[in-house]
Chain A
Amino acid sequence: MTSPASGKTPKPFPGVRPIGRPFWLLLPGVAWLLVFGLAPILFMGAVSFWRSSIFGTTPDFQFGNYARMIEEPLYVELLVKTLRIAALTTILSLIFSYPLAWFLASRKGAWKAVCVVAVFVPFWISYVVRTFVWLPILGRNGLINQTLMGLGLISSPVEWFLYNEGTVYLGLVYVYTLFMTLPIYLALEKIDPKLIEAATDLGARPWQTFRHVVLPLSWPGVLSGSIMVFLLAVSAYVTPRLLGGTSGIMFGNMIANQFLSNNNWAFGSALSMTLVAVVALFLLVVGRWVGIREVFTGGKG
């Protein structure tokens, strides 16, 4: 494993070490992550084998929680549906983000900076707020219904704008698409314009240039963005809760219910561990094509 800094750091003189003892520098952060990051996850793993009843949750070692999850079709079906929603959200984000990323990468000078910041700004806002904003657009008194009624196109508000799986896609793409746009934009920006000129000079049609030059070079960005969006979408809670109604419910909502209303911590822990396992499995699979850590360090670290 090469050190994350290799290649970037100006080479220090031999024998001159950076200041500080590495052990003491790393200790506070590592201790925090072990105690508050890793330990709670391991503990939850243990709780997922405990037993919850009306008398509370008691230590045990039994597979009842996991068995229930497999036996009752509700949970497996919801997991499959959640994976489907996350996958489709990823694909939709890719389709919508790629042209925008290209647009940003092909701007120049101050205009480019303005456009990039303009894409960023909405994503600096809490996703709870950005999910909420769709209610007064799609709801009964919403912008669309009131406009259509004002134009006389409909006589009563349309109900199906909200609270279904489609609205969940809209909300998830709206909330998370920047995580697709940004890595693709960064990858496209690295492409030497001379390559595209050369392809054009050699007679390549725009589509051929895209297919054989641009797309392969932007592939790392596409993968990074897809991983981010999929991870965020698969654990969504806010968007399906606010926009999905009963038909748009996702796995995250089922997990939350165990803690917020059913008070079944052992089963909730088992559901949580399942989601963690799904994410881990996903990362393991896509990790064959792309270094997961490079997704987060932008290939720089």
Chain B
Amino acid sequence: MMAPEAPPPRVRDPYRFWRAALLGYAGIFFLFLYLPLIVIVVLSFNDSDATGFPMRGLTLKWYTRVLTTPDMLAAFANSASVGAVAAILSTGLALLLGLGFRHELRGKSAVLNLIIMPILLPGIVGGIVLLVFFGYLGLRSELWTTVLVAHVNYVLPFAFLTLYPRLHRFDRSLEEAAMDLGARPWAIFRHIVWPLVRPGVIATAMFAFTLSFDEFIRTVFVTGYERTIPVLFWLLIVDEIAPHLPAMAVVIILVSTAVSLAAFLIGRRADRSA
């Protein structure tokens, strides 16, 4: 004869309801985040001259148009090249600032305020101040002058804020040992500091690239005839009914997310190993 098994003691979990509710809510939130993106992907294949529903068959022609129109290709080239240069410039400046910030010095607080100022400045004003400033200096709006400056202005604070903790976190003992052994500052940087911070610098530069690639509100005021991708996209939305807009949106989405994801993964790895 078997003794009946005692039921396990009932543990009162007051959070069970809330956990379920939270899970449900998160599901709805993710739907809110992703449904519009899914819709745009579906529409990018719609064989219809009007953007929207109903679906009139599937086609790849909008992608062909996006990837072959000279305007589009020029804008992609502009965005990619100005993004790369802005990323290198702003990350370089941020790296120097970060190295400088390792020193104990007066006035650091004022410099930090100066660095953060471009983030606090409303984006639209950030574009207009350059339009007015360069306008009166007689400088024409061009990709490699006004747009580049606008992008570096915008990206520099973010580059500094992501790079600065990475410069501070690494172990200083190697550097100090090299110094004790009489290594010159440049040799210390070249052989010790740089190898340690390089993954963080690369992640920062890639992050900077994505910020520049997607920048719109400052660029739109100082772009001349050379358009970047977001500006061209904007002009297409505002000026005309362009059936290839969803396809263009998908291409932009793919580029932005791919580079951002790579930057995120590299950055995480760099932060872990540091």
Contact = CB atoms under 8 A, between A and B. Distances in A.
Contacts of B128: 44, 255-256, 259, 268-269, 272
Given A20-B100, A22-B105, A44-B129, A142 B120 contact: no
Contacts of B198: none
A4 B108 contact: yes
Interface string A34-52: 1011111101100100000
Contacts of B124: 235, 237, 252, 255-256, 272, 275
Contact of A37 (B43, B53, B117): B117
A142 to B, nearest CB: 6
A128 B264 contact: no
Interface stretch (A60-68, A98-106, A183-191, A217-225): A98-106
A133 B32 contact: no
A272 B102 contact: no
Contact of A279 (B22, B93, B122): B122
A75 interface: no
B81 interface: no
Chain B interface residue count: which class?
35 or more
A119 interface: yes
A47 B136 CA distance: 10
Given A16-B179, A22-B100, A29-B160, 14 more contacts: A9-B168, A19-B188, A30-B114, A99-B25, A125-B252, A128-B233, A129-B233, A130-B36, A136-B39, A140-B52, A231-B120, A255-B124, A293-B112, A296-B116
Interface in B8-42: 14-15, 18-19, 22-23, 25-26, 29-30, 32-37, 39-40
Q: Top 6 nearest A-B pairs by Cβ distance?
A: A141-B52, A235-B122, A25-B100, A40-B133, A124-B260, A126-B214
B175 interface: yes
B185 interface: yes
Contact of B25 (A19, A43, A103): A103
B115 interface: yes
A16 B125 contact: no
Contacts of A132: 40, 233, 237, 245, 249
A120 B121 CA distance: 24
Contact of A41 (B102, B121, B169, B189): B121
A275 B165 CA distance: 32
Interface of B: 14-15, 18-19, 22-23, 25-26, 29-30, 32-37, 39-40, 43, 50-54, 92-94, 96-97, 99-105, 108-109, 111-125, 128-133, 135-136, 149, 152-153, 156-157, 160-161, 164-165, 168-169, 171-173, 175-176, 179-180, 185, 188-189, 193, 210, 213-214, 216-217, 221, 230, 233-234, 237-238, 245-246, 249, 252-253, 256-257, 260-261, 264
B249 A103 contact: no
Interface residues of A, number: 96
Given A32-B93, A126-B230, A268-B128, A136 B246 contact: yes
23 contacts: A4-B101, A9-B172, A10-B173, A12-B176, A28-B93, A29-B115, A36-B152, A37-B117, A38-B114, A40-B129, A41-B129, A44-B128, A44-B132, A115-B26, A127-B214, A129-B233, A142-B53, A256-B124, A272-B124, A272-B125, A276-B122, A276-B125, A301-B161
A46 to B, nearest CB: 10
Name the residue among A1, A128, A143, A147 with the largest chain B CB count within 10 angstroms: A128
What secondary structure prevails in chain B residues at the interface with A?
helix
A120 B256 CA distance: 12
B257 A124 contact: yes
Contacts of A13: 176
A129 B102 CA distance: 39
A26 B96 CA distance: 6
A14 B11 CA distance: 56
B27 to A, nearest CB: 10
A206 interface: yes
Contacts of A122: 33-34, 37
A33 interface: yes
Interface string A253-293: 00110010000010011001001100100010000000011
B97 A29 contact: yes
Contacts of A40: 129-130, 132-133
A96 interface: yes
Contacts of A44: 125, 128-129, 132-133
Contacts of B32: 174
A133 B39 contact: yes
Contact of A3 (B30, B104, B130, B238): B104
